[in-house]
């Protein structure tokens, strides 16, 4: 709570003159019953966040179970780092994701999680992430070429385009273009699961065990079964024929072992973690890029400043590379601000398994502890002009309170692929901004809706103007 006493001494920022802020989620201003809550949560999980969560450190209530939404950085540190063992992932989260990614890193707890994390951590070392950057640059170049073929002034859905681009990246860095890897089938199955099976059901709200069938997840089971079979075939083939050159994520996972026990992942464990990386590795980055492009079109001054930076680094008209990322700080700030305003995991939940106290409030075993990152990132006690788009707020790392900004979570379970995603996003955004001007389509702004991730419902529709080399 001490942090909230100190935030009164916030720095002031000179804001641009804008007629409005970018799109946001309408938050709850009046109590809802169970049926209204269930209806709304199936349409947009974030819609159940009370408006007061953007001006308070903690908000509590009861819906079958007691729940607490935490927006206090000190309490968030306790949940994510200091007392992690008493706040495992909630059963709702596990029920939603286990059919797709099994007992992978994202879901596993305790010793089973720890050995997988130790095994996979070297895969995402800075060296390996940098070695994979040429794949990101190639995908950025192909994306720019596709955009250039569109009829001038015709609207493009950049959410679809970013999904295509980032899936190209994750497919290539995961399976090195292996022809036996049917990316279209896997992409379709994943998209189907996210859009339908990812919706919370009444059975989830009532905390019924996972063996009780969820009808909407049964409908998408065929796609997941086929996806797992494809992944298993590719893994077994790679074991027989050896590593690619340079090694991809699958090769690195096959080579990986727990440094303590020397245990290696079996085929099922490799598959579950690969599917986790595929789902998380393209979806979250595509979302960050889609929202970043929308925001650049929303604020033409930001876009012009970012384009100037990109063109100064990419003066020969090439695609950005991993080596360029450190020279593109403003592009990175735009990505950071997009992640603040529209965090892909806008809300996650934990289930307390022991007594505790957060923000002076008693936490009982069985209570649901909700981490609403969407509300955290827009909390007026933590941020100046929290609903405004202002990338410059990230120009000094000291100005951002630790645990006030958590797009990738934090603590031991911080997203293992965060550096991969950020490098990819900067490479793609810089490449596109250096070549195109992005313009909003009147009346077609996206609507922020979270099912499993915070997506732009309706798409991100923009028109483009290609910038000739002579104007660079």
Rounded Cα–Cα distance for residues 174 and 107 (Å): 20
Q: Closest by alpha carbon to 415, among 252, 284, 326?
A: 284
Is 17 in a helix, a strand, or coil? Answer: coil
Rounded Cα–Cα distance for residues 335 and 292 (Å): 6
Determine the pLDDT at residue 11: 36
Among the ranges given (100-104, 191-195, 198-202), the one the predictor scored with the smallest mean pLDDT: 198-202
Which strand (E) or helix (H) includes residue 239? helix 221-241
Per the model's pLDDT, the better-predicted residue between 40 and 67 turns out to be 67
Is 450 in a helix, a strand, or coil? Answer: strand
pLDDT at 156 over 90: yes
Which strand (E) or helix (H) includes residue 447? strand 447-450
pLDDT at 208 over 60: no
Determine the pLDDT at residue 18: 45
**Residue 152 — very low, low, confident or very high, per pLDDT cuts 50/70/90?**
confident
- Which DSSP state fits 320? P
Rounded Cα–Cα distance for residues 347 and 340 (Å): 13
**Residue 199 — very low, low, confident or very high, per pLDDT cuts 50/70/90?**
low
Q: For the segment 415-425, what is each residue's pLDDT rounded down to a tens digit?
A: 999 999 999 99
Mean per-residue pLDDT for 240-266?
A: 83
For 47-63, the three-class secondary structure string (H helix, E strand, C coil) is HHCEHHHHCCCEEEEEE
- Are the C-beta atoms of residues 269 and 276 closer than 8 Å to each other? no
Q: Closest by alpha carbon to 13, among 333, 314, 391, 433?
A: 391
**Residue 225 — very low, low, confident or very high, per pLDDT cuts 50/70/90?**
confident
Determine the pLDDT at residue 295: 98
Question: Which residue is listed with tokens 């720019």?
Answer: 144
Domain borders along the chain are 2-471
Q: For the segment 64-88, what is each residue's pLDDT rounded down to a tens digit?
A: 789 999 999 999 999 999 999 999 9
User: For 96, phi and psi rounded to 5 degrees?
Assistant: -70, -40
Mean per-residue pLDDT for 332-341?
A: 98
Beta bridge partners of 68: 60, 369
Give the rounded distance of the alpha carbon of 369 from its chain centre: 20
Determine the pLDDT at residue 34: 65
Average pLDDT, the chain: 85
End-to-end Cα spacing for the chain: 50
Rounded Cα–Cα distance for residues 369 and 352 (Å): 7
Determine the pLDDT at residue 322: 97
- CATH of segment(s) 2-471: 1.10.630.10
DSSP output for 43-107: H-GGGGSBGGGGS-SEEEEEESEEEEEE--HHHHHIIIIITGGG-PBPHHHHHHHHHHHTTSTTT
Q: Closest by alpha carbon to 460, among 174, 217, 157?
A: 157
Question: Which residue is listed with tokens 């295509």?
Answer: 164
Mean per-residue pLDDT for 288-305?
A: 98
Rounded Cα–Cα distance for residues 409 and 79 (Å): 11
User: For 109, phi and psi rounded to 5 degrees?
Assistant: -125, 165
pLDDT at 13 over 50: no
Question: Which residue is listed with tokens 């109590």?
Answer: 31
Determine the pLDDT at residue 213: 52
Of all residues in the chain, the percent with pLDDT exceeding 90 is 52
Residue 417 to residues 64, 105, 446, Cα–Cα distance (Å):
35, 12, 26
- Are the C-beta atoms of residues 397 and 67 closer than 8 Å to each other? no
- Are the C-beta atoms of residues 131 and 251 closer than 8 Å to each other? no
């Amino acid at each position: 709570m001490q942090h909230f006493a100190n935030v009164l001494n916030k720095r002031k920022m000179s804001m641009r003159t804008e007629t409005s802020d970018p799109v946001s989620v309408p938050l709850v201003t009046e109590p809802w019953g169970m049926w209204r809550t269930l209806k709304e949560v199936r349409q947009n999980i974030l819609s159940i966040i009370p408006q007061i969560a953007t001006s308070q450190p903690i908000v509590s209530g009861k819906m079958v179970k007691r729940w607490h939404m935490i927006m206090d950085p000190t309490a968030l540190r306790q949940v994510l780092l200091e007392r992690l063992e008493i706040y495992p992932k909630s059963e709702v989260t596990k029920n939603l994701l286990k059919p797709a990614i099994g007992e992978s890193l994202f879901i596993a707890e305790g010793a089973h999680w720890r050995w997988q994390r130790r095994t996979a951590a070297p895969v995402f070392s800075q060296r390996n992430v940098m070695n994979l950057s040429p794949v990101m640059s190639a995908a950025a170049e192909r994306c720019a070429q596709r955009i250039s073929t569109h009829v001038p002034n015709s609207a493009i859905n950049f959410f679809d385009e970013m999904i295509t681009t980032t899936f190209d990246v994750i497919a290539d860095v995961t399976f090195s273009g292996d022809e036996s890897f049917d990316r279209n089938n896997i992409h379709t199955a994943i998209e189907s699961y996210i859009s339908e099976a990812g919706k919370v059901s009444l059975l989830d709200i009532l905390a019924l065990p996972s063996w009780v069938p969820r009808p909407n997840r049964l409908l998408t089971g065929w796609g997941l079964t086929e996806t797992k079979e494809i992944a298993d075939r590719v893994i077994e083939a790679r074991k027989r024929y050896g590593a690619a050159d340079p090694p991809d994520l699958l090769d690195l996972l096959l080579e990986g072992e727990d440094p303590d026990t020397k245990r290696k992942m079996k085929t099922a464990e490799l598959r579950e973690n690969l599917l986790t990386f595929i789902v998380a590795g393209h979806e979250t980055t595509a979302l960050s890029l889609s929202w970043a492009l929308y925001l650049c079109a929303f604020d033409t001054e930001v876009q012009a400043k970012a384009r100037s930076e990109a063109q100064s680094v990419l003066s020969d008209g090439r695609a950005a590379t991993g080596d360029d990322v450190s020279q593109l700080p403003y592009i990175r700030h735009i990505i950071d601000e997009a992640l603040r305003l529209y965090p892909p995991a806008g809300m996650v939940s934990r289930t307390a398994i022991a007594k505790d106290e957060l923000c002076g409030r008693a936490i009982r075993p069985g209570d649901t502890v909700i981490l609403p990152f969407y509300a955290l990132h827009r909390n007026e006690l933590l941020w100046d002009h929290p609903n405004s788009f202002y990338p410059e707020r990230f120009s000094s790392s000291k100005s951002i309170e630790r645990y006030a900004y958590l797009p990738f979570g934090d603590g031991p379970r911080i997203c293992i692929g965060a550096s991969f995603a950020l490098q990819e996003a900067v490479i793609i955004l810089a490449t596109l901004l250096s070549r195109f001007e992005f313009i909003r389509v009147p009346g077609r702004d996206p609507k922020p809706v979270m099912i499993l991730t915070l997506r732009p419902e309706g798409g991100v529709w923009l028109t483009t103007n290609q910038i000739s080399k002579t104007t660079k």
